[in-house]
């Protein structure tokens, strides 16, 4: 089983492609949080696919992983005692810092060992700070082309149940990013309090439908954020009127949502 979380579609695409290539099935963990504590089939490989957020694991994924690991413990089929193959694929726009250590620490704290992990570079979606924007169409194409090859290689390893492959993208200053900047980022910028709409909002509801955690409502003639946000930015990127802003810096930023038509033909 592959569990995934995705805001703008990159990780969903990777999870679905991996599922196809490994004859597995995949489930959106935001839609089925309780599945983390459902019984696991013996011998079943377990994959987790999610985006890097601030060089860290998104909090919704962290909560799922904790329940999932407790479940492995409770059913007494810890990695050491069973043949469960547990792997992670993190998608990122640039680099993941020390996200791998975070994942393996989180799991090993609960007695579960990670078998393998990969980072796959995909088009960037973070736009809320100065200097951050979506990629050019050329870079989107290059990243998607490269990612297609990487996902095929990951699928080969998963099919062979290869262990000990930790192919992440730590980038520069990974410790600083994950352990110093990441927590500040989470504290200050993982909140929906800085979202607002411009007068061009027509209350069409597109962003409401794209929010993976049901954090948006239209009440009293206004779009409202309900403070359960994971900051995936699906709302920002899906608005056909470009009417969503986050703080002061998103006015002229681009939009990106994964769509299969973006995949380059091979
Ligand atoms: C809040 C937020 C934080 C992000 N942080 C990082 C990061 O630390 N490193 C990185 O390379 N990309 C970062 N990105 C980019 C995403 O990880 C990347 O575009 C990912 O593929 C998006 O996946 P999704 O479409 O499944 O949501 C961030 C994006 C968002 C919205
Ligand atoms: S998608 Fe844009 S126009 Fe439609 S409700 Fe959301 S903010 Fe308003
Ligand atoms: S409100 Fe927007 S940023 Fe927050 S979780 Fe929903 S779609 Fe993602």
Give the model's pLDDT for residue 262: 96
Greatest distance between any 2 Cα atoms in the chain:
59
Distance 232 CA to ligand 2 centre (A): 16
d(CA 63, CA 33): 9
Minimal-distance CA residue to ligand 3 atom 7: 211
> Hey, how many other C-beta atoms are within 10 angstroms of the C-beta on 132?
15
| Residue 52 located in a structural domain | yes
Say if residue 167 is in the same domain as residue 59.
yes
Q: Would residue 265 count as lying in a domain?
A: no
9 is a domain residue: yes
pLDDT of residue 219: 94
What is the per-residue pLDDT for 79?
44
- Tell me if 199 is assigned to some domain: yes
Q: What length does the chain have?
A: 266
DSSP output for 16-34: HHHHHHTT--EEETTT-GG
- Domain identity same for 65 and 197: no
Q: 0.85 exceeded by the pTM?
A: yes
Give the C-alpha distances (Å, rounded to integers) separating 133 from 4, 178, 212. Answer: 24, 20, 22
Confidence at residue 34, expressed as pLDDT on a 0 to 100 scale: 73
Q: Which pLDDT does position 44 carry in this prediction? A: 79
Q: Is 246 in the pocket of ligand 1 (CB under 6 A)?
A: no
3-class DSSP state for residue 93? coil
Q: Give a yes or no: residue 25 inside a domain.
A: yes
Q: Which domain holds residue 229?
A: 190-260
Domain boundary among 134, 163, 186: 186
Joined together, the tokens standing for residue 233 give 């930015």
Q: Is the same domain home to 25 and 69?
A: yes
In the chain, how many domains are there? 2
3-state secondary structure of 52: coil
Q: What is the mean pLDDT of each run of 10 residues along the chain (266 residues)?
A: 96 98 94 71 85 96 82 56 81 97 85 91 97 97 98 98 96 97 93 96 98 96 96 98 95 96 88
Phi-psi region of 117 (alpha: psi -120 to 50; beta: other; left: phi over 0): beta
Q: How far is the CA of 5 from the centre of ligand 3 (A)?
A: 12
């Amino acid at each position: 089983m592959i569990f995934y979380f995705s805001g703008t579609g990159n990780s969903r695409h990777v999870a679905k492609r991996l599922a196809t290539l490994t004859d597995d099935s995949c489930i959106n963990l935001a839609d089925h949080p309780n599945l983390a504590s459902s019984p696991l089939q013996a011998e079943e490989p377990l994959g987790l696919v999610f985006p890097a957020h601030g060089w860290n694991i998104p909090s919704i994924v962290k909560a799922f992983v904790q329940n999932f690991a407790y479940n492995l413990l409770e059913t007494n089929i810890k990695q050491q005692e069973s043949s469960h193959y547990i792997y992670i694929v993190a998608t990122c726009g640039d680099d993941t810092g020390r996200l791998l250590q975070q994942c393996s620490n989180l799991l090993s704290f609960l007695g579960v060992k990670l078998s393998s992990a990969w980072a796959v570079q995909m088009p960037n979606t973070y736009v809320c700070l100065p200097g951050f924007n979506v990629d050019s169409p050329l870079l989107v194409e290059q990243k998607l082309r490269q990612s297609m090859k990487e996902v095929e290689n990951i699928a080969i390893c998963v099919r062979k149940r290869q262990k000990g492959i930790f192919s992440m993208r730590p980038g520069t200053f990974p410790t600083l990013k994950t352990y110093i900047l990441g927590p500040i980022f989470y504290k200050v910028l993982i909140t929906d309090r800085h979202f607002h709409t411009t007068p061009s909002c027509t209350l069409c509801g597109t962003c409401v439908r794209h929010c993976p955690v049901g954090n948006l409502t239209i009440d009293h003639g206004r779009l409202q954020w309900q403070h359960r946000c994971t900051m995936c930015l699906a709302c920002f990127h899906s608005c056909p009127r470009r009417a969503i802003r986050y703080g002061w810096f998103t006015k002229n930023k681009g939009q990106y949502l994964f769509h299969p038509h973006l995949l380059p033909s091979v």
